[in-house]
Structure 1
């Protein structure tokens, strides 16, 4: 399974780098794992913008695209296959002053909580959410990204 965090953020360069590294780590963990044939790609849109930009970056409802799709965004061809997209919105003021450990923990907790929306995607039938959530949560705890 492919996993990625797309950032829509007003955070510092260092903070966005920490989140990009987190995305790479989680993607590496999920690379060789499968939780059913209906989900091959999971993209998280992380929205952390200053209040004056909130009107431009609204949290969208979760989306699922069954099968192989090709789209063109800004002249770039993007291919996806059995893809789910989930937005996670965290208030900018809540995380902009956090150090690396606390910021990564807050982002991981928000992503883990929002992944519950996968159960509401009616087209997503062959997907073991319980195994996915357990593996994801255990990985985040093992890597000390979150505490339980």
Structure 2
């Protein structure tokens, strides 16, 4: 009996299967990184909101001491995102107190809630010219003053 020569068929099949599965692998990597970065942004916003909820009202009402408190909250956000290796080049942070922005808090204002809005653009691991996905999280914590 003659032996059939089919040596190249397995290699062609493997190449076709790998060509179809490679984009799925890239998609899985990008989605995994998106989930990790999203969790880190959520954790950073929550940590900063919890920190700001413990700052006394006297400090939030005083302009110079308020700046120090908000800078500390921003440093907490930076540390949390750095621990997760999130690219912070496009990081945007906004601190919101109950009547409005925390930077514009008046001496007569008594905020019952403190919120932190953190957003960052998530770059894909393998970039195919796609637009980055913006991860935005708003965390709000009530005050007990």
TM-score, normalized by the shorter chain, greater than 0.5? no
Looking at CA atoms only, which structure, 1 or 2, has the larger radius of gyration?
Answer: 2
Return the structure number with greater strand share: 1
